Amino acid sequence: MLLLKAAIRTFAEKGFEGASIREIADAAGVNSSLISFHFGGKAGLHAAALHLAARMAKHTAKTLPMPPLPVGPFAGRSTVLRQAVNALRAYIHEFIRMSLRLHSSLPPEKDPELERAVLVLIAKTMIYPPEESMGSLLEAVQPHIDYLHRCLRVLRSDLDHDGMVRMGMSIHAQLLFFLCHQDILARVLNEPPCHEDDLPRLVTHFLKFNLNGLGIPDEYLELESP
């Protein structure tokens, strides 16, 4: 487990090509020959690390409040809309919280740096996914896609399948870009890096931006943050 955690951190920081077997082994405090023995090399270790990351990502999705089922016409489902907005807020809150390296909500790990590395590893693998890792990658992202789509089916029940997919991709693209590039953007813009005190402001920004794009009135923003 220590080796896989070290692999998650190193692959997240340096990517598959940039990470070396020796530095992963050194980070875990083991002999590098163990990687070849147990995983057959760097590709096998990457696949195993991504599989563990997928299990951790699935756990995170299970801790979120369940979005409601869509019912009735738009004008008559105010309560259900509020529940869907609250679920979307919780989803954005959890993603931004992990991006800012705040205290982990994963009981088995309690490691915010590892939690963030899980997200980064999955995000980087999605850019150029190796074929042998597709199963673990789909395992990691599918619960999050399903959760977001369930929110969207309530918030915009008029969207067809293609519209739902595009809207979900747009929201995830914003969150993933923030995860991977927040630090460099702060430097380019000559702004201080985001801190845990910025969490409520960031969540409200992402939530309002996306609700406005979905055509949901601002009155549904008036909810307590998680």
Helix axes 112-127, 161-188, angle to 10 degrees: 120
Whether residue 2 lies inside any domain: the answer is no
Whether residue 183 lies inside any domain: the answer is yes
Q: What is the mean pLDDT of residues 20-30?
A: 91
Assess whether pLDDT exceeds 60 at residue 226: no
pLDDT tens figures, 63-103: 888 888 876 554 446 888 888 999 999 999 988 887 886 43
Whether residue 114 lies inside any domain: the answer is yes
**Among candidates 97, 85, 111, which has minimal Cα distance to 179?**
97
Q: What is the mean pLDDT of residues 16-34?
A: 90
Q: What is the mean pLDDT of residues 188-213?
A: 90
Q: What is the Cα–Cα distance from 226 to 223, expressed in whole angstroms?
A: 9
Per the prediction, the chain carries an average pLDDT of 83
Q: What is the pLDDT of residue 148?
A: 93
Whether residue 37 lies inside any domain: the answer is no
| Side-chain-facing half-sphere of 26: CA atoms under 13 Å | 6
**Among candidates 108, 12, 10, which has minimal Cα distance to 60?**
108
Assess whether pLDDT exceeds 70 at residue 19: yes
Whether residue 40 lies inside any domain: the answer is no
Assess whether pLDDT exceeds 70 at residue 222: no
Beta-carbon count within 10 A of 46 CB: 25
**Among candidates 91, 103, 123, which has minimal Cα distance to 196?**
103
Whether residue 34 lies inside any domain: the answer is no
Looking at 100-109, 156-165, 208-217, which range is the least confident one? 100-109
Structure tokens at 108: 């088995």
Whether residue 140 lies inside any domain: the answer is yes
Assess whether pLDDT exceeds 80 at residue 133: no
Assess whether pLDDT exceeds 80 at residue 6: yes
Please, which pLDDT band fits residue 212 given cuts at 50, 70 and 90? very high
Name the CA dihedral angle for 30, 118, 127, 129, rounded to a multiple of 10 degrees.
Answer: 60
pLDDT tens figures, 42-58: 888 998 998 888 888 77
CATH number of 158's domain: 1.10.357.10
Please, which pLDDT band fits residue 202 given cuts at 50, 70 and 90? very high
Most confident of 13-17, 162-166, 185-189: 162-166
Which residues does 75 contact at the CB level (< 8 Å), separation at least 6? none
Which residues does 201 contact at the CB level (< 8 Å), separation at least 6? none
Number of domains in the chain: 1
Q: What is the Cα–Cα distance from 192 to 194, expressed in whole angstroms?
A: 6
Q: Buried b vs exposed e over 126-165: b needs ≥16 C-beta within 10 Å?
A: eeeeeeebeebbebbbebbeebbbbbbbbbbeebeeeebe
Whether residue 11 lies inside any domain: the answer is no
Q: What is the pLDDT of residue 102?
A: 46
**Domain span at residue 98?**
52-221
pLDDT tens figures, 138-178: 888 888 899 999 999 999 988 899 999 999 999 999 988 88
